Structure 1
Amino acid sequence: MAALLSCPRRHPSVHLLILTLFIASLLPILDGLELGGDGLYREILRDETVLRLKELGKLSSPNTALLYVNQISDGEGYLERTFLSPASIRASHVIISWMKDAGLTTWIDQMGNIHGRFEPTNSTKEALLIGSHMDTVIDAGMYDGSLGIICAISALKVLKLTGKLQRLTRPVEVIAFSDEEGVRFQTTFLGSAAVAGTLPESILRVSDKSGTTVQDVLKLNSFEATAAALGQAKYSPESVGSYVEVHMEQGPVLEALRYPLGVVKGIAGQTRLKVIINGSQGHAGTVPMKLRRDPMVAAAELVLTLETLCKQPNKFLTYDEECGCFTEESLAGLVCTVGELLTWPSASNVIPGQVNFTVDIRAMDDKVRETIVTSFSRLVLQRCDDRLVDCTVEKKHAASATPCDAELTSQLERAARSTLSSMTTMTSSPAAAAVPVLMSGAGHDAMAMARLTKVGMLFVRCRRGVSHSPEESVLDDDVWAAGLALVNFVDQNAVAPATTPETATAEVAAES
């Protein structure tokens, strides 16, 4: 090759042709094996990704109450990583190192979101954003949120090692959002709402159970913590083409269908309420039953009222004018949950003075959800009035149902189908004639990002549909399938075709 290039009698275009043909001959080697094959794809998208999930799953805040109850000395197996906690900061450093390993330029914005981006030279196209959240619930599993982040990083690492990262035609960016669960401040999507530009200035004054505000936490971690600074995290709609999120299903459908992957057509709307009941605190042994104003009993009645309302809404409500009821389709996905109940002073021999509890209401139909919220709020006031206690209902969060973009959904379905077909001979995955299309009852960062751009989601099968629990489990091969599908998706939508010997010859001939 050196001798051919050094020959002084050859036309410069011939030199270029020889060099181009030589580089083109290496592309099959750089590209690795076919999707679904062994080698780099499996080693990175399955083996390395699973190891990284386990590593991130060890970065946790301690839970002294749990350690006391179980008399555990080291808290092994417990996972809690809330917004900008010390555990979250440690996780940030690790995620940044993985992003750099994938060839991405990294930074942290003013809401603590971690970004890793590859910017093609002279590209004027809108960016493809891929992300999920790095925070967890209390006593969490290691897949919720983290799976989508690490799968995305691994997919771009494969593109880097196969030479395809340099052939991107549009910017591709991975975002690890700082808060989606809303555990610490009882308000979800702090990270993704900041990027979407929908985070209100008032969020800075919201406090956690200890009285620490969002602004306090940001300042403690060296962020500016001003409204102007939060505005810097906002992306302009013109700069973003789409957002895609990989997430464990958090439900049992894919496992029942025996499919590793599914695409999401929409996300249920969600409302979070806080009910505060004030009664008369007193001695458990001296206050007669007929003279009590007990907020605990009122709370118990209201929890049962909520359950009945959501199990049998047509007994309480009318909505459809023709049938005088909710339709079966409109009620799809309606679920109501009381997940937290706090009492004061919380002593066995004291009638509580105050009881607070949370309410989570979700439905695919926003009109159904809003009607349930209104009806329950009215029932709270009625029941509390009957029991001579004082009640207030605070709306902590509300998000409309979010449809996924039809084109993105179709593209993700094709990528998943191609992936599963290529994996059929190597795993227990079925050949995918039709990848399942699902609705999501759980909220995701895609809900916030839909205010910025079109969104698409890919679900990954999980064992028994268990989530928000240490029992979360995703098969290693399903992690692999998700990574392969992302590689497939990016390859089809953002990677320019490789130069072949034939196209190189034609290009040089045209140039001559």
Structure 2
Amino acid sequence: MAGPDALNPVAERLKDDLTELATIRAPESGGWTRTVFSEPYRSARDWVRARMRSAGLDVHADGAGNLIGVLPGRDPSAPALMTGSHTDTVESGGRFDGVVGVLGALEAVRLMRENGIRLERDLLVVDFLGEESNDFGLSCLGSRALAGELTRAHLDRVDHEGVRLGDRYTGFGLDPSAVLGAAGDFTTNGLHRYLELHIEQGPVLEEHGSAIGVVTAIAGIRRLVADFIGRADHAGTTPMTVRRDALAAAAAAVLAVRQEGCGAPVHGVATTSRLDAEPGSPNVVPARVRMQAEMRSVDVGWLSDAQRRLAQKITEQAGEFGVDADLRWSVDNDRVPAHADVQQTITSITDALGIGWEAIPSGATHDAVHIARLCPMGMIFIPSREGRSHCPEEWTELDDILTGVRVHTETLIALDRSA
């Protein structure tokens, strides 16, 4: 039987893993860049596959491109326990987002094996393919496919270079038909519970001095692509009163998006992430602008109302500039609550270890959103310095990671025994 300190993670081992994986990145980009389908991402996944094997896992890739390491349990017929996260990044991102969940799960496996702890059911450790949002406007590719939520229409989406998502899969060595058929392909007996360890990516835990965040829900996301259609005219000779300036209309829309996010009563944010203007000449009034924006909230009512208000305001403001606005909305994911029983298990373990925690919503999306369609899910957050994430300054202290891995390991063991 393991002693009270036996399940403490090995600091140097985990630090070495984090440091080594961080060396695999695109050298020409700032920060840490391993975008989905890129060569650095391919190399990182080869590294993860080797680490999974060295931890004693049976490793394979499913049809959707997810890397799955299996720690066999006593009862192979029992629904499996699943954990993991992702190792892809945004352009010029950080070195902890997603990575902590994958490497933390591997450390949990090592601790169980070193202390003779065998679970009743199989434990699946997953490095999900392409969790981050990409040029196709679609996040969580691997977990979305597992949940049966990736469609043929998604594969027909094109990026800024005009390349189909399906062709990107093919170029990465994945069969698009197998990707679409990957739902339920990972286990013959279904899933029992899903648990994900992740950095908070926000400032709350650090500000409150809490070591652990128990996630209550993951925010819903509504995305907007707006095309503003005006008229190209000479910038030096066309009077201001008769211009149909698409960029001026888009600028007003950017401010409207921000205003809506600032007016959220509880948890809500709104962001414009991109503007592309045509023709782009310094002496021509912009004729066409494409804007990309999004809104997020765990408050479903606010999210729907905000979308309606924003659509109306953008259209009306564009009309005042003599510009037409074509708005196309999509739902990246709906609000998903964490399962109450999984939350309770996390809090019970954390209390027993004498570690401070608080309940917290997640404004970022995660693979847990889609796996929640397959089984009860929960998430454990650990602090992020100054709340920074998706940037080179992203940082989580090693001591905080070790605390998170300890709670994560103990919670996995408890969930394995739960009904």
TM-score (norm: length of structure 2): 0.93
2:385–2:395 contact (8 Å) kept in structure 1: yes
Match of 2:151 among 186, 192, 200: 200
The structure-2 alpha-carbon separation of the partners of 1:395 and 1:403, relative to structure 1 and needing over 3 Å to count, comes to same
1:354 aligns with 2:272: no
Residue 99 of structure 2 is matched in structure 1 by 146
Match of 1:390 among 324, 348, 360: 324
2:193–2:415 contact (8 Å) kept in structure 1: no
- How far off is 1:469 after superposition? 1.1
Residue 206 of structure 2 is matched in structure 1 by 255
1:465 aligns with 2:399: no
2:80–2:189 contact (8 Å) kept in structure 1: no
Residue 6 of structure 1 is matched in structure 2 by none
Q: AA paired with 1:284?
A: A
2:75–2:120 contact (8 Å) kept in structure 1: no
- Equivalent positions of 1:446-485 (< 5 A) are 446-485=368-407
Match of 2:340 among 400, 403, 406: 406
Distance 1:161 1:87 in 2: 32
Residue 324 of structure 1 is matched in structure 2 by none
| 1:304-341, Cα deviation, whole Å (9 max, x unpaired) | 2222233346xxxxxxxxxxxxxxxxx31011111222
Q: AA paired with 1:52?
A: D
1:137 aligns with 2:90: yes
- How far off is 1:42 after superposition? 3.9
The structure-2 alpha-carbon separation of the partners of 1:62 and 1:285, relative to structure 1 and needing over 3 Å to count, comes to farther
Residue 52 of structure 1 is matched in structure 2 by 17
- Equivalent positions of 1:363-378 (< 5 A) are 363-378=297-312
Residue 4 of structure 2 is matched in structure 1 by 34
Residue 197 of structure 2 is matched in structure 1 by 246
1:174 aligns with 2:108: no
1:101–1:157 contact (8 Å) kept in structure 2: no
1:234 aligns with 2:184: yes
Distance 1:306 1:447 in 2: 25
2:9–2:108 contact (8 Å) kept in structure 1: no
- Equivalent positions of 1:232-311 (< 5 A) are 232-235=182-185, 239-311=190-262
Distance 2:19 2:280 in 1: 37
Distance 2:75 2:259 in 1: 59
SS at the partner of 2:273?
Answer: coil
Residue 56 of structure 2 is matched in structure 1 by 103
CA RMSD of aligned residues (A): 2.1
Distance 2:384 2:332 in 1: 27
1:262–1:413 contact (8 Å) kept in structure 2: no
- How far off is 1:397 after superposition? 3.2
- How far off is 1:263 after superposition? 0.8
Match of 1:61 among 20, 26, 45: 26
- How far off is 1:401 after superposition? 1.2
Q: AA paired with 1:264?
A: V
SS at the partner of 2:361?
Answer: strand
Identity %: 30
Instruction: Give unpaired runs (5+ residues) of structure 2.
Output: none
The structure-2 alpha-carbon separation of the partners of 1:42 and 1:127, relative to structure 1 and needing over 3 Å to count, comes to closer
The structure-2 alpha-carbon separation of the partners of 1:172 and 1:295, relative to structure 1 and needing over 3 Å to count, comes to same
- How far off is 1:347 after superposition? 3.4
2:70–2:122 contact (8 Å) kept in structure 1: yes
Name the one with the larger helix percent.
1
| 1:440-468, Cα deviation, whole Å (9 max, x unpaired) | 12211111111221110000011111111
- How far off is 1:118 after superposition? 1.6
Distance 1:206 1:365 in 2: 29
- For this pair of structures, how many residues does the alignment match? 417
- How far off is 1:121 after superposition? 4.6
SS at the partner of 2:296?
Answer: strand
The structure-2 alpha-carbon separation of the partners of 1:384 and 1:237, relative to structure 1 and needing over 3 Å to count, comes to farther
Instruction: Give unpaired runs (5+ residues) of structure 1.
Output: 1-27, 64-74, 314-330, 422-431, 497-512
Residue 111 of structure 2 is matched in structure 1 by 158
Distance 1:468 1:229 in 2: 27
Distance 1:487 1:114 in 2: 20
The structure whose Rg is larger is: 1
TM-score (norm: length of structure 1): 0.77
Residue 82 of structure 1 is matched in structure 2 by 35
Distance 2:245 2:257 in 1: 19
Match of 2:414 among 475, 492, 502: 492
1:42–1:480 contact (8 Å) kept in structure 2: yes
- How far off is 1:229 after superposition? 4.4
Distance 2:364 2:407 in 1: 22
2:93–2:390 contact (8 Å) kept in structure 1: yes
The structure-2 alpha-carbon separation of the partners of 1:187 and 1:152, relative to structure 1 and needing over 3 Å to count, comes to same
SS at the partner of 1:379?
Answer: helix
Residue 72 of structure 1 is matched in structure 2 by none
- How far off is 1:142 after superposition? 0.5
SS at the partner of 2:328?
Answer: strand
Residue 501 of structure 1 is matched in structure 2 by none
Give the ranges of 4+ consecutive aligned residues of structure 1 lying more than 4 Å apart after TM superposition.
Answer: 235-238
1:441 aligns with 2:363: yes
SS at the partner of 2:53?
Answer: helix
Q: AA paired with 2:12?
A: D
Q: AA paired with 2:20?
A: E
